[in-house]
Amino acid sequence: MIIADKKPIEEIIETIAPFEQILILGCNECVTVCEAGGKKEVEILASALRIYFLNQGREITIDEKTIERQCDHEYLEELRGRVDRYQAVVSLACGVGVQFMADKYKTLEVFPGVNTCFLGATETRGVWVELCQACGSCILAQTGGICPVTRCAKRVMNGPCGGSTKGKCEIDKEIDCAWQLILDRMKRLGRLDKYEAVAPIKDWSSDRAGGPRKIIREDVR
């Protein structure tokens, strides 16, 4: 899922201060699971903002709404007819939702309420880890289901670099060396032959470096 983190409330206050009618819009998907932008977070943020502006002696309308997904036209359509009464929307969805919202409602100010961070998973409650960089050309079949593109700081493709010490990465003693993890897993699987095979040069043309990417599937179009 997409992992996001809450934006500091001071930053949100500064952004919305010039407006009088504001909608805080949550998303029921990834940002709900990572506790950054779901219904609960919408309620808490809206309440805190109302308290702040009341305390400042300002009468501002701050309403709340959480929709199923902000990255889908059909769910964003639910808001048509309602968003007209607001001057600005603070979207607690990931960057995709914010942009979708801004694109759909062209005369409405849309601001992000979270920082979208990475593709990852919940390690334990309150701890989220990055596991995929969406490089567009998955090599997990060759690396025992452990991604060196994401989990190796250097993105090396043929075993650990010289900075791997006792299974940890040189950039941080808390970070596992991805290639040590791959080696250990290959041993357990009895597939060291895969580990020893020299990986071909990775095709990076599908990675982000080529600009924004697009997938067109004629079979489902």
Interacting residues with another protein (CB under 8 A):
9-10, 40, 43-44, 47-52, 54-57, 59
Give 50 or 168: the residue with its C-beta nearer to another protein.
50
Q: In what order do the strands lie in the sheet with 114-124?
A: 2-6, 114-124, 127-132
Give 19 or 118: the residue with its C-beta nearer to another protein.
19
Min dist CB 59 to another protein, Å, is 7
Contact yes or no for 13/46 (Cβ under 8 A): no
Min dist CB 121 to another protein, Å, is 22
Min dist CB 126 to another protein, Å, is 9
Percent helix, strand and coil across the chain, each to the nearest 5: 35, 25, 45
CA distance 156 to 143: 12
Burial class (CB in 10 A: 0-12, 13-18, 19+), 191: middle
Min dist CB 19 to another protein, Å, is 17
Give 40 or 73: the residue with its C-beta nearer to another protein.
40
Give 56 or 158: the residue with its C-beta nearer to another protein.
56
Give 52 or 204: the residue with its C-beta nearer to another protein.
52
Which amino acid is it at 145? G
Could you tell me whether strands 127-132 and 109-112 are parallel, antiparallel, or unpaired per DSSP bridges? unpaired
Contact yes or no for 89/111 (Cβ under 8 A): yes
Which amino acid is it at 137? S
Min dist CB 129 to another protein, Å, is 21
Give 42 or 152: the residue with its C-beta nearer to another protein.
42
Min dist CB 45 to another protein, Å, is 9
Please report, for residues 33, 79, 101, 117, the alpha-carbon distance to residue 96 in angstroms, rounded to integers and kept in the order given. 16, 17, 9, 12
